Amino acid sequence: MKGKSAAETPLDQRSLLQRFAVYMRKYWFIYLLVLPGLICMIVFNYGTMYGIQLAFKDYSPRLGVWGSPWVGFEHFREMIADPNFIRAFKNTVIINVYKLLFGFTFNVFLALLINEMKIRRVKSVVQTCVYLPYFLSWVIFAGLVQVFLEYPSAADLGGVVNQVIASLGGTPIDFLKTPSMFRGILTISNIIKTAGYSAIVYFAAIAGINPTLYESAAIDGANRKDMMLHITLPRILPSVAVMLILELAGLFVSNFDQVYNLYSNYVLSTGDVLSTYIYRISLGGGTEFELSTAMNLVLNLMGLIVVLIANKFIEKLDVQGIF
Amino acid sequence: MKGSAQGRKRYRRSMLARFGFNFYDIFVYAFCILFALVCVYPMWYVFVASVTPYEEYIKGGLMLWPRGGIDFQYYVAIFSTRSFVNSLWISVSKTVLATALSVLVTSTMAYAVSKTHIRGMKVINALVVFNLFFTGGLIPQYMLYQDLHLLRTYWVMVIPGALNITYFIIMRNYFTYSVPKDLEEAALLDGCTDVGVFFRVVMPVSRSMIAAVTLFIAVINWNDYYNYMMFIGNKTNLQPFAWILRRMLVDQSMMNTVRNGAAGLGMELPPPMALRMATIICAMIPILCVYPFLQKHFTSGITLGAVKE
């Protein structure tokens, strides 16, 4: 505010250019700081936008992106008629709903329970353990999942889970090649990898609760479970709401890293998601460059609408939004 | 019999009471410890299995402790593969370069944009955040890199990620809400310029946040194989370690190279599963080394959408 008042009054008579020069001289350093990022953003983020026209064109490498002929909404019609796209879309939404139903509630539950532990050392050891998987890449994590669920073969005795099944007298299951189990595996592996880390937001909210609330509740004879349900839980609800909205905003976003490292041709029917499908038809072996760009455009627009709606709700809560 | 069972029960109850425990606590501790074990045991199992000699390993079972001695033969097999060592160098160098560039570009921009009273900053902020949700997509990106002659070069793994939007938002929120405004204003009153405020006040105050973000971005860069896979493709001399990992663990296209290499060293042909486990451990070590520092910092607000105080 102070910058404005100092720069404005005597300058009104001067030309626009002079005013600009004075403003720049005053704030040149801030503008200098913003410059590298601005250039990166324009080149690498907005620079890709011109490629979106491919969605409306028939690309030929000889003519380049600009020279290729326009075909209108041809690729969008193709997209809607593509059963594999519809399947990938459905899988993405279903997997995200699973992650929301089970993963999200688990995160809140875990945060509340970890907070209930009163022995400091046990609590910090548990926290150290549950945060760790988040920092391993999905490649490593997928490696772990495979090692555990591996089907016995001639060269190897199979994963631990199948060893246990065999020792109990059951027949081994090829988990990662069974379509009906794939979504479950995605959901559970996602919980193990991210639950601890996601709980941090709630710990921060719990840390902000006034301790006198608990003291007066204790005097009134409330036990710990009552305190959790009637003090802690209502106090972290704003955080829960924000995380829920952020989660909902990603309804059409699929986790390429996770699915790409876990899926195989056997589980495409339940496990193929949008990002893996778009990859497969374009750079990953296919040549449907225009179709994949069209799909990306539609998904981005849909995602953007959901995010804008979600942000309207976030603004109503007293939180740091993302905008 | 009956009496002693009851006695034991009563004794146990009094023990629990003495430590202030009840069944609610037992449930809480059991659940949390169980989940912690679920998170960590797989890694421990893989470590134990990777150092167990083959004769013991083939017996199977839930290994809790190395049996029959410790044997690093699989690690020797891995580290005698040339592309493995080469990829480590690629990964280390690109992680250092990309992280330094990214932190520099992102933090300076985040600080500037947090000064919303300066003209243009709100617009720039909106333009950056918009990119979080709207991108050109894979093919437009590919076309752009082709035009910029970045395709199939080392630099495609370093330069394009310079502005990290997620950490831009986190840092911007930090500069807006967590750097005391009074401090900056006091410095300005004392005759400090914007330059002085930035280097003498804001940077020292945000030191630990910058350190934390640096570590986070470094972990992202270390784990990144996407840029190689999409935009470099088949230049084996540029393979980052994360890609080698994928080829060992997921599609196993490198398995035979390593196995034959081991056989060339005069070892027995190692089982693929054991090699995979040893690879997982190799990949985890750098992350485990920085993990204590990561954990120290990330609880202090390095999360998106945290509630205002």
The residues spanned by each domain of chain A are 2-59, 74-316
pLDDT of res. B305: 39
A141 to chain B, closest Cα gap in Å: 9
Residue in B20, B194, B250 closest to A30 by CB: B194
Which of A2, A4, A22, A30 is most worth mutating to test chain B (most B CB atoms within 10 A of its CB)?
A: A30
What is the average pLDDT score of chain B? 83
CA-based max dimension of chain B? 86
pLDDT of A18 over the 50 cut: yes
Which tens digit of pLDDT belongs to each residue from A125-138? 999 999 899 888 89
pLDDT of res. B34? 95
- C-alpha span between A263 and A280 (Å, rounded): 13
Please say whether the beta carbons of A244 and A302 come within 8 A.
no
Q: Which residues are within 8 A (CB) of B9 and not within 5 positions of it... i.e. 6 or more apart?
A: none
Amino acid found at A296: N
Ranges A152-156, A268-272, A278-282, A289-293: which has the least confidence = A152-156
- A203-261, pLDDT tens digit by residue? 878 887 888 888 898 888 888 888 888 888 888 887 888 788 778 878 888 899 999 99
ipTM for the whole complex: 0.83
Task: Tell me the average pLDDT of chain A.
Answer: 86
Taking 3-state DSSP, the helix, strand and coil percentages for chain A, each rounded to the nearest 5, stand at 75, 0, 20
Q: B253 at the A interface (CB within 8 A)?
A: no
Judging contacts by C-beta atoms under 8 Å, the chain A residues touching residue B136 are 48-52, 293, 296
- Determine contact: B246 vs chain A, CB below 8 A: yes
Stretch A71-84: mean pLDDT: 91
Name, of A54-63, B38-47, B96-105, B181-190, the range with top average pLDDT.
B96-105
Q: CA nearest A250 in B: which residue?
A: B133
Which of B35, B57, B206 is best to mutate for the A interface (most A CBs within 10 A)? B35
Which of B128, B166, B193, B307 is the best substitution to test chain A (most A C-beta atoms within 10 A)? B307
Q: How far is A247 from chain B (nearest CA, A)?
A: 11
A200: nearest CB among B58, B194, B298: B298
Q: Is A185 on the interface with B (CB under 8 A)?
A: no
Domain B76-298 in CATH 1.10.3720.10? The answer is: yes
Structure confidence at residue B49 as a pLDDT band (50, 70, 90): confident
Quick one: A74-316 is in which CATH superfamily? MetI-like (1.10.3720.10)
DSSP conformation letters of B50-86: HHS-HHHHTT-S--SS--S----HHHHHHHT-HHHHH
Question: Quick one: DSSP state of residue A230?
Answer: I
> With an 8 Å Cβ cutoff, are A320 and B230 in contact?
no
CB contacts, 8 Å: B61 with chain A: 163, 167
CA distances for B174 relative to B14, B113, B202, angstroms: 49, 12, 11
Distance CA A132, CA B288 (A): 8
| Alpha carbons B238 and B91: distance in angstroms, whole number | 9
> d(Cα A139, Cα A196) in Å, to the nearest integer?
19
Q: Which chain A residues are Cβ-neighbours of B43 within 8 angstroms?
A: 132, 144
Residue B98 has pLDDT above 80, yes or no: yes
The band of A4, judged by pLDDT with boundaries at 50, 70 and 90, is: very low
Task: Annotate A35-63 with three-state secondary structure.
Answer: HHHHHHHHHHHHHHHHHHHHHHECCCCCC
Helices (H) then strands (E): counts for chain A = 17, 0
Chain B residue numbers touching A203 (CB-CB < 8 A): 299
Predicted confidence (pLDDT) per residue in B188-231, tens digit: 888 888 888 888 888 888 887 888 889 889 989 999 999 999 99
What's the pLDDT at A195? 92
**pLDDT reported for residue A133:** 92
Instruction: Answer with the residue of higher pLDDT: B171 or B65.
Output: B171
Whole-number Å distance between alpha carbons of A297 and A294? 5
* A260 or B275: which leads in pLDDT: A260
Cα(A189)–Cα(B286) distance, integer angstroms: 22
Tell me: pLDDT of A52 over 70: yes
Domain limits, chain B: 2-71, 76-298
- Please check whether residue B34 touches A, CB under 8 A: no
pLDDT at B85 over 70: yes
CB contact under 8 A, A47 and B104: no
Reported pTM: 0.84
Residue A120 in this model has a pLDDT that exceeds 80: yes
What is the average per-residue pLDDT within B245-255? 82
Selected residues 142-201 of chain B with any CB under 8 Å from a CB in chain A:
142-144, 148, 159-160, 162-163, 168-169, 173, 177, 193-195, 198
Closest CA to A281 of B253, B138, B95: B138
- CA distances to A46, A66, B153, B156 from B231, rounded to whole Å, are 18, 21, 8, 7
Give the pLDDT confidence of B193-204 residue by residue, as tens digits.
Answer: 888 888 888 888
Residue B14: predicted pLDDT: 57
First CA to last CA across chain B, in angstroms? 59
Among A118-132, A173-187, A200-214, the least confident range: A200-214
B28 touching chain A per CB within 8 A: yes
CB interface of A with B, residues 148-177, below 8 Å: 148, 150, 155-157, 160, 163-164, 167
The residue in chain B having the minimum alpha-carbon distance to the alpha carbon of residue A118 is: B25
The count of other CB atoms within 10 Å of the CB of residue A94 is: 13
Q: In the Cβ-directed half-sphere of A240, how many Cα atoms lie within 13 Å?
A: 18
Q: How confident is the model at residue A10 (pLDDT cuts 50, 70, 90)?
A: low
Q: Which of A260-269, B42-51, B197-206, B263-272 has the lowest mean pLDDT?
A: B263-272
When pLDDT is averaged across residues A70-95 and rounded to a whole number, the result is: 93
pLDDT for position A109 = 92
Share of chain B above pLDDT 90, in %: 28
Least confident range of B95-104, B106-115, B182-191 = B182-191
What gap in Å lies between CA B96 and CA B218, rounded to an integer?
A: 7
> Does A37 touch chain B if contact means CB atoms closer than 8 Å?
yes
Would you say residue A289 has pLDDT above 70? yes
pLDDT of A8 higher than 70: no
Any B CB within 8 A of A5 CB: no
Q: Residue B185: closest CA among chain A residues belongs to which residue?
A: A2
8 Å CB contact of B137 and A293 = yes
Which of B138, B141, B168, B170 is the best substitution to test chain A (most A C-beta atoms within 10 A)? B138
Report whether pLDDT(B12) > 70. no
What is the per-residue pLDDT for A184? 94
Choose among B35, B131, B140: nearest Cβ to A54: B140
How many inter-chain contacts (A to B, CB under 8 Å) are there? 287
Task: Record the tokens describing residue B281, joined without a space.
Answer: 């451990």
> Mean of the pLDDT values across residues B244-264?
81
Q: Chain A contact for B265, CB < 8 A?
A: no
pLDDT of residue A320: 54
Q: Which of A1, A37, A51 lies closest to B105 in CB terms? A: A37
